[in-house]
């Protein structure tokens, strides 16, 4: 513990955030760093408590509490306090190979399990992590050196999202020859096309991809495994295959009028916006002005986003930057409490109301929070030409299912309401991976349609085929996908070599 009384002397202080008025004019990241001296003081707030829940990564009440990567957080926080950012990077690198991503997009499970946060504000571990990795990049400490010798073993990784990149990084360091297959035109998976640029600048991804390529990892983009190449062909070419294709099957809305033109899945929408921004060399002004999208311009349209999670919030922030006339966000569940309930004690993940950047921006422009709770779409309304012109929403109530005994949300008769909308984005979650990927490898699926494995295992029902990430665990967090990517790398390494030192 660096400073015994640090958590008593210093209040939590986060880096500056550009105001909604400033950041709505572009697609740039808007979280700024603290001065080094002030960041060191934030490291001093770490209590080095007897039981560091921040690094546990265990499930409590069905939700993960603490870091799934098991970063030794009190150690890195102390090194930040002492100003030894180089050693902090060395320490962080022992458990985490891609902190530039989690320090931007992770919901900070570590902070929500921080002992300091039980009675006051938690330690700003996420910003400390970002300060560490950006110092390391700025000072030439981040390297992906090619191994001195190769094992002669070959591995194909299907998907270049967080799980695929984490696995590729470790297996390449071990000396195996790694080839990553990505169906999109650029590597990064969810990091590139599921998260908008203002949360994660795509040049941050390119920076890491370049290092991995220089170290010997091969990326084959524009190859959809199961369509452009079969599982049998990959198993003939490679010693092992790892499926990290994510949960790419979006949940749809089964409502009357669904065929109307103007209804899109959220990730498809975010993907096209990110791709156009990169094609325009990150020229936000040109993107906002021209909006050369297949779905037409967003400017001037009334938009409804169906889904209250992170992806829904990202859609809200994106359409506002594209000058939508208005935006509403529909959430099926009731509005969460603003404070922890007794039934949700620390260090469980806090099930409390969270207002993210997109909702803040909508409130700034529209004068109120864009979210409407306990509401869903009953019917899509279209013009005679088949273009979307609005939706009919209905309130929901929680009732007990007579057969299962579980609570479910059902419509409340007489609460229908018509709302104007020329664009609807469905951000209602995912129902597992694309079926054709499983079929081409003849792997079994579990009851949730994810790739089936034994408990605490990453081996599928098909010999020499492994899996990790959302394809394995279901839709989850970037940090959890990375933890699975590292774990599957060890499992594959052991299956090839008879032991593993990863």
Q: What is the per-residue pLDDT across 2-19, written as a single tens digit (0 to 9) for each?
A: 788 999 999 999 999 999
Asked whether the domain spanning 263-426 has the same topology as the one spanning 154-249+431-497, the reply is yes
Superfamily of domain 154-249+431-497: FAD/NAD(P)-binding domain (3.50.50.60)
Q: Is the pLDDT of residue 488 over 70?
A: yes
Give the tens place of pLDDT for each residue, 89-133: 999 999 999 999 999 999 999 999 999 999 899 999 999 999 999
To the nearest 10°, the Cα dihedral for 371, 354, 273, 19? 100
pLDDT for residue 407? 87
Q: Which of 494, 496, 488 is nearest to 472 (CA)?
A: 488
Domains of the chain, residue spans? 6-138, 154-249+431-497, 263-426
Is the pLDDT at 463 greater than 90, yes or no?
A: yes
Average pLDDT for the chain? 96
| Residue 401's pLDDT band (cuts 50, 70, 90) | confident
243-258 pLDDT, tens digit each: 999 998 999 999 999 9
Of the CA atoms within 13 Å of residue 406, those in its CB half-sphere come to: 3
Evaluate if residue 262 carries a pLDDT over 70. yes
CATH of domain 6-138: 1.10.1060.10
pLDDT greater than 70 at residue 381: yes
Rounded to whole angstroms, the Cα distance separating 255 from 324 reads 24
Asked whether 306 and 425 are in contact (CB, 8 A), the reply is yes
Instruction: Specify the fold of 263-426.
Output: FAD/NAD(P)-binding domain (3.50.50)
Q: Which has more confidence, 372 or 407?
A: 372
Q: What is the pLDDT of residue 232?
A: 98
Q: Residue 1 — pLDDT band, cuts 50, 70, 90?
A: low
Give the pLDDT confidence score for residue 429 in this predicted structure: 92
pLDDT at 365: 98
How does residue 404 score in pLDDT terms, banded at 50, 70 and 90?
confident
Residues 284-306, mean pLDDT to the nearest whole number: 96
Q: Are 481 and 470 in contact (CB under 8 A)?
A: yes
CA dihedral 311, 316, 320, 326 (to 10 degrees): 150
Which pLDDT does position 48 carry in this prediction? 80
**Does residue 336 surpass a pLDDT of 80?**
yes
Tokens of 94: 């022992």
- pTM, 2 dp: 0.96
Backbone angles phi, psi at 307, to 5 degrees: 135, 135
Cβ proximity of 244 and 467 under 8 Å: yes
Answer whether residue 453 shows pLDDT above 80: yes
| pLDDT, position 403 | 84
């Amino acid at each position: 513990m660096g400073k015994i009384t640090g958590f008593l002397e210093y209040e939590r202080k986060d880096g500056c955030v550009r105001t909604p008025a400033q950041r709505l004019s572009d697609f740039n990241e808007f979280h700024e760093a603290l001065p080094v001296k002030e960041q060191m003081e934030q490291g001093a707030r770490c209590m080095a408590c007897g039981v560091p829940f921040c690094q546990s990564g265990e499930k409590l009440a069905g939700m993960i509490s603490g870091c799934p990567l098991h970063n030794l957080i009190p150690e890195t926080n102390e090194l930040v306090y002492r100003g030894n950012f180089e050693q902090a990077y060395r320490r962080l690198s022992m458990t985490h190979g891609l902190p530039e991503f989690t320090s931007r997009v992770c919901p900070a499970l570590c902070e929500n399990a921080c002992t300091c946060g039980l009675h006051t504000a938690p330690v700003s571990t996420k910003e400390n992590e970002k300060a560490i990795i950006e110092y390391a990049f700025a000072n030439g400490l981040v390297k992906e050196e090619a191994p001195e010798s190769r094992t002669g073993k070959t591995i194909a990784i299907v998907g270049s999202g967080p799980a695929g990149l984490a696995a590729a990084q470790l297996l390449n360091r071990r000396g195996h020859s790694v080839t990553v297959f990505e169906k999109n035109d650029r590597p990064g998976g969810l990091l590139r096309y599921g998260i908008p640029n203002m949360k994660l600048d795509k040049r941050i991804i390119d920076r890491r991809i370049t290092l991995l390529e220089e170290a010997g990892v091969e990326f084959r983009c524009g190859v959809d495994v199961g369509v452009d190449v079969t599982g049998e062909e990959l198993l003939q070419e490679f010693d092992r295959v790892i499926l990290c294709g994510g949960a790419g099957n979006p949940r749809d809305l089964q409502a009357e009028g669904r065929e109307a033109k103007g209804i899109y899945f959220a990730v498809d929408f975010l993907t096209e916006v990110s791709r156009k921004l990169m094609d325009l060399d990150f020229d936000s002004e040109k993107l906002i002005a021209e909006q050369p999208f297949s779905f037409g311009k967003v400017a001037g349209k009334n938009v409804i986003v169906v889904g209250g999670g992170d992806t829904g919030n990202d859609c809200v922030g994106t359409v506002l930057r594209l000058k939508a006339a208005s935006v509403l966000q529909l959430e099926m569940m009731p509005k969460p409490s603003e404070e922890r309930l007794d039934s949700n004690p620390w260090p469980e993940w806090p099930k409390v109301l969270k207002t993210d950047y997109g909702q803040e921006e909508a409130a700034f422009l529209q004068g109120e929070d864009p979210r409407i709770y306990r509401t869903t779409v009953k019917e899509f309304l279209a013009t005679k030409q088949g273009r979307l012109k609005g939706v009919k929403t209905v309130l929901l109530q929680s009732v007990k299912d007579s057969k299962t005994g579980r609570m479910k949300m059902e419509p409340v008769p007489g609460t229908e309401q018509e709302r104007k909308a020329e664009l609807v984005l469905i951000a209602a979650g995912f129902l597992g991976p694309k079926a054709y990927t499983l079929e081409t490898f003849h792997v079994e699926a579990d009851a949730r349609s994810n790739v089936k494995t034994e408990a605490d295992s990453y081996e599928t029902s098909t010999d020499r085929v492994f899996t990790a990430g959302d394809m394995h665990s279901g839709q989850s967090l970037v940090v959890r996908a990375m933890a699975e990517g590292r774990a599957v790398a060890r499992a594959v390494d052991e299956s090839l070599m008879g032991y593993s030192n990863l």
